[in-house]
Structures are given as structure tokens and as C-alpha cells.
């Protein structure tokens, strides 16, 4: 099947390479010529485990190519729209200008029977608006919305073996044709028994934002419990283990710490609230304000805990931050809690050094005022406090005795509750976790 993938960022590049792996002939299209040049020679423009091999094998198969020209999408049976939907500057709402530009650019190249499939995360109501505004030029083409649930750091596996497929389609024969086309695209995964749910546009759009809101709520719930544990002298990790054993609750997404970040959860819950307001249903989502507020409080709480670790003053203190990415196994620094905390500490007078195995380049672009050091041992040397803010495996595996020899003062704040506290204390460190006595 001929497929085009429009927008080759964290979602689209993985999607394009994965669709070629499934046996389709794929063209990935992006407006960024640098990205397209890199992808065309098999260089992944961002860090994602498994992507370089997948990209290379798909290019070698001759089934994957990249282009900056929308005209190269012409003739594809299915066109996936994977462009960004960031938060609008100074507002909660999603910025849909890239989605609109992608539809406007694609529409003149559409032919009868082709299916345009939105994968970007959009506010409910967007698909029917786009169908009205852009699909009229190609009346026989059909629009479907097939939201994406991949996690960065697991994107390849999540794309090839997702938990479920959601198809938002129009009513009648057109909807059936769109679902058939998507079944053909995903035949290999469907044959593994992956559930496939067909519904209307609005429900499909809502499934995506509801799923991310639920995940964000779960994280903020456990972080609220962390606040309580701190006040009551209890331990949030023991609490999460105990409540997580109830199947109805589950242990996943109950890791308390510095809170959630990234290019999805924060902006998606805000866009969801904004859209609810436009629909006159803002009361339904007022709890998400609290979810957001709890999350942002974790960042200021981390700054306060660091001040406590540093005997009450941050001025001139040498602080080493382990991790810049918003999560491990990613170089994505969009709304990274680690960087936001590092920047706050520096503003309050600390001398901050940030290290990360993959994200330094991206981090430096966003926070040029911070000092970055790629070498872990050098970053730790002479530190007066160490903060683990992104739980990369190499940081979790750090040897507390060897690390103690590098630093000036053995103070560690475990912002992700990822270290074995007893090991660090046994090696002479004063260890502080999040929500732990």
C-alpha cells in the first residue's frame, strides 16, 4: 500500500519507518529540510531507542523515502497527518496552525478514494471542521482520525505493537471504507489480536485527551499523596506499592517525584480544559486545574528540598542535576521538569551543572543560561548537592561510594525515588526522596 506521513517529528518519523517495516511503500514529508536530509540518509534526528536500526532497514528495503514536497504525497492510498499541536503561547488552547497548514497543503494533491488519517492530538471537533474546510476540494477522499498513544522511549514497540487502535470515522459507506483502509495498513498488528475500536470523530478525539488526562491525574494523585506523606512522616513509595496491588488501581503511573512533563501530558490537559470551556462544559474539567497545579508544585517543592539539603541557602552552592530530558530514554526536553527545576535553582543563586546522556544539545538550545557537562564524573566533581531528576539507568546504577569520592558534600535528592536509599545512606550520603520520611 502507498502511504504518506506528513510531519516527521517524534511521532511521524517513527510512524513512517514502522509503516515501511510493515511492508508499505512510504514517503515521509516534512517542512524542515534539515530533518528530511538527516532522515533520508538514515540519521534519526532525535534519540529514540530502536529507531536508527528501523530507519536504516526501511531505507535499505527501498520502501521508505523522505521529501519536503507535498506533491510527493500524491497517489498515496492513505495519508497520515502527524504534525505538531503545541500549546498556544500565553494560552491553554492548542495551536492548530500546523494541522491546518498540512491539510491546506495536502488537499490539492488528493484524489478520489484516498483516505486522510489524522494522528495528531487535537481538540474535540477538529476533525469535522477539517472535513468541512479542506476535504471539499476532493469530495471522494475520506477523513479518519486515528489518535496515537505511543510513549517516547518505547515509540517503536508501541507503534508496531500498540495496545489498541482507535478509528474515528464518518458515518455510512465512507466510514466503512476508511476503516477498511486502516485495517489494511495495520493488518500485521491486527493479526496479533490487537483490539480495534471504530467510533465517530468526536469520540476518537476525546479518547486521546481523556487517556492523557487520566494518566496525568494518576501521577498528580500520587504526588498529592507524596505531599501528605511528607507532612505526616510517611512513605509514598510504600503507599503506592500497597494501593497498586489492588488490580482496580494498578502500580503503573504511581511514581511520585518531580512530576510530569514532556510534549504531551502538560499541553494536552490544558488544551482539554480550554476546549471544554469553548463547549460550555468547563466545570467538567475543573479538576484538571488541580492536576496541573499539583504537578507544578512538585517543581517548587524540589527547589525547597534542595535548599534544605544545602543548609538553608542556595547562594553560590554547586549543584549537579542528573538528567535534562523529561523522561529517560528520550532527548526530548519539552516542558522538562528537570530543566525547569535547574533553571529555578540557578535563578535563586546556585551554580548549577546539568548532565544528560542524550539531551544536552536540545537542553542548551532551550536554556542557554545553564551550564552543561556531558561527562558524568566531571559533572559530579566538587558538587555540594546532587539531584537525580531524570532516572536514566546509568544514574540509577551510580555507585554511591565511588560518587562520594567525587563530590564535595554528600547530599543527594532523589527526585524520582529511583535510588536504593539504604545503599546511599550506608555510603555516608544524606539522602532525601520525594514524599518519603
Ligand X SMILES: NC(=O)c1ccc[n+]([C@@H]2O[C@H](COP(=O)([O-])OP(=O)(O)OC[C@H]3O[C@@H](n4cnc5c(N)ncnc54)[C@H](O)[C@@H]3O)[C@@H](O)[C@H]2O)c1
Round to whole Å and give the CA distance between 48 and 431. 32
Strand segments, DSSP code E, in 290-425 are 318-322, 351-355, 371-372, 385-388, 411-414
- 102 versus 265: smaller Cβ distance to ligand UPG: 265
- 73 versus 229: smaller Cβ distance to ligand UPG: 229
Q: Which stretch binds ligand UPG (CB under 6 A): 52-60, 62-70, 85-93, 145-153?
A: 145-153
Round to whole Å and give the CA distance between 123 and 391. 32
Residue 215 binding target from ligand UPG, ligand X, none, CB below 5 to 8 Å by type: ligand UPG
**Binds ligand X by CB under 6 A, chosen from 83, 236, 276, 341:** 83
* Smallest distance from ligand UPG to CB 41, Å: 26
SS3 71: helix
Residue 118 binding target from ligand UPG, ligand X, none, CB below 5 to 8 Å by type: none
Residue ranges in 103-132 that form contacts with ligand UPG under rule CB under 6 A:
121
How many H-runs (helices) and E-runs (strands) does the chain carry? 18, 14
Active site residue 264: yes
Residue ranges in 102-161 that form contacts with ligand X under rule CB under 6 A:
102, 105, 120-121, 148, 150, 152
Q: Which stretch binds ligand X (CB under 6 A): 101-109, 138-146, 385-393, 426-434?
A: 101-109
Residue 260 binding target from ligand UPG, ligand X, none, CB below 5 to 8 Å by type: ligand UPG
Binding status of residue 63 toward ligand X by CB under 6 A: no
Q: Which stretch binds ligand X (CB under 6 A): 52-60, 81-89, 167-175, 281-289?
A: 81-89
- Kindly list the distances between the CA atom of residue 325 and the CA atoms of 199, 311, 354, in Å, as whole numbers in the listed order: 35, 28, 11
- Tell me whether strands 196-199 and 318-322 are parallel, antiparallel or unpaired: unpaired
HSE-CB for 243 with a 13 A CA cutoff: 14
Round to whole Å and give the CA distance between 2 and 76. 5
Interface with ligand X (CB under 6 A), residue total 27
HSE-CB for 244 with a 13 A CA cutoff: 16
Cβ atoms within 10 Å of 260's Cβ, excluding its own = 26
Round to whole Å and give the CA distance between 255 and 219. 7
- Tell me whether strands 25-29 and 64-67 are parallel, antiparallel or unpaired: parallel
**Binds ligand X by CB under 6 A, chosen from 3, 5, 6, 383:** 6
Q: What is the DSSP string of 43-57?
A: --SS--TTHHHHHHH
Round to whole Å and give the CA distance between 182 and 184. 5
Kindly write out the interface string for residues 211-240 of this chain, putting x where it contacts ligand UPG by CB under 6 A and - elsewhere. -x--x---x---------------------
Round to whole Å and give the CA distance between 129 and 206. 15
Round to whole Å and give the CA distance between 13 and 48. 10
**Binds ligand X by CB under 6 A, chosen from 35, 79, 270, 411:** 35
Asked whether the beta carbons of 132 and 279 are under 8 A apart, the reply is no
Q: Which stretch binds ligand UPG (CB under 6 A): 147-155, 227-235, 275-283, 359-367?
A: 147-155
Catalytic pick among 8, 82, 229, 264: 264
E strand or H helix at 28: strand 25-29
**Binds ligand X by CB under 6 A, chosen from 59, 82, 345, 376:** 82
Asked whether the beta carbons of 178 and 167 are under 8 A apart, the reply is yes
Kindly write out the interface string for residues 308-337 of this chain, putting x where it contacts ligand UPG by CB under 6 A and - elsewhere. ------------------xx----------
Binding status of residue 51 toward ligand UPG by CB under 6 A: no
- 30 versus 391: smaller Cβ distance to ligand UPG: 391
- 134 versus 272: smaller Cβ distance to ligand UPG: 272
**Binds ligand UPG by CB under 6 A, chosen from 84, 259, 357, 433:** 259
Catalytic residues: 264
Binding site for ligand X (CB under 6 A): 6-12, 29-32, 35, 82-85, 98, 101-102, 105, 120-121, 148, 150, 152, 263-264
Amino acid at each position: 500500500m502507498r502511504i504518506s506521513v506528513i510531519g516527521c517529528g517524534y511521532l511521524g518519523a517513527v510512524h513512517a519507518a514502522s509503516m515501511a517495516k510493515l511492508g508499505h511503500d512510504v514517503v515521509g514529508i516534512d517542512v524542515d529540510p534539515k530533518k528530511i536530509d538527516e532522515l533520508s540518509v538514515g540519521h534519526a534526528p532525535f534519540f529514540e531507542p530502536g529507531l536508527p536500526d528501523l530507519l536504516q532497514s526501511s531505507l535499505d528495503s527501498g520502501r521508505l523515502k523522505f521529501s519536503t514536497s507535498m506533491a510527493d504525497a500524491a497517489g498515496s492510498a492513505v495519508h497520515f497527518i502527524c504534525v505538531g499541536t503545541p500549546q498556544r503561547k500565553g494560552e491553554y488552547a492548542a495551536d492548530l496552525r500546523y494541522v491546518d497548514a498540512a491539510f491546506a497543503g495536502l488537499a490539492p494533491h488528493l484524489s478520489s478514494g484516498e483516505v486522510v488519517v489524522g494522528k495528531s492530538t487535537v481538540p474535540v471537533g477538529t476533525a469535522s471542521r477539517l472535513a468541512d474546510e479542506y476535504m471539499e476540494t476532493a469530495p471522494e477522499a475520506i477523513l479518519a482520525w486515528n489518535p496515537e498513544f505511543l510513549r517516547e522511549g518505547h515509540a517503536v514497540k508501541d507503534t508496531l505493537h500498540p495496545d489498541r487502535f482507535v478509528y474515528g470515522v464518518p458515518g455510512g459507506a465512507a466510514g466503512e471504507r476508511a476503516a477498511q483502509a486502516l485495517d489494511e495498513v495495520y493488518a500485521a498488528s491486527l493479526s496479533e489480536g490487537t483490539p480495534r475500536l471504530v467510533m465517530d470523530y468526536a469520540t476518537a478525539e476525546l479518547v486521546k485527551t481523556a487517556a492523557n488526562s487520566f494518566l496525568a491525574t494518576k501521577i498528580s494523585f500520587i504526588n498529592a499523596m507524596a505531599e501528605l506523606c511528607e507532612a505526616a512522616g510517611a512513605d509514598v513509595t510504600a503507599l503506592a506499592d500497597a494501593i497498586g496491588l489492588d488490580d482496580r488501581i494498578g502500580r503503573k503511573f504511581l511514581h511520585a517525584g518531580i512530576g510530569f512533563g514532556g510534549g504531551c501530558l502538560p499541553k494536552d490537559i490544558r488544551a482539554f480544559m480550554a476546549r471544554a470551556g469553548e463547549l460550555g462544559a468547563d466545570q467538567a474539567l475543573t479538576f484538571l486545574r488541580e492536576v496541573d497545579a499539583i504537578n507544578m508544585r512538585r517543581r517548587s517543592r524540589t527547589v525547597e528540598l534542595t535548599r534544605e539539603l544545602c543548609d538553608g541557602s542556595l547562594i553560590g552552592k554547586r549543584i549537579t542535576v542528573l538528567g535534562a530530558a523529561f523522561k529517560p530514554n528520550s532527548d526530548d526536553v519539552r516542558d522538562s521538569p528537570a530543566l525547569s527545576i535547574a533553571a529555578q535553582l540557578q535563578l535563586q543563586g546556585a551554580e548549577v551543572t546539568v548532565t544528560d546522556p542524550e539531551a544536552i544539545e536540545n537542553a542548551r538550545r532551550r536554556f542557554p543560561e545553564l551550564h552543561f557537562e556531558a561527562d558524568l564524573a566531571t559533572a559530579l566533581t566538587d558538587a555540594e548537592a546532587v539531584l537525580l531528576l531524570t532516572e536514566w539507568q546509568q544514574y540509577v546504577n551510580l555507585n554511591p561510594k565511588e560518587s562520594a569520592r567525587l563530590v564535595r558534600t554528600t547530599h543527594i535528592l532523589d527526585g524520582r525515588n529511583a535510588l536504593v536509599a539504604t545503599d546511599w545512606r550506608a555510603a555516608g550520603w544524606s539522602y532525601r526522596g520525594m514524599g518519603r520520611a
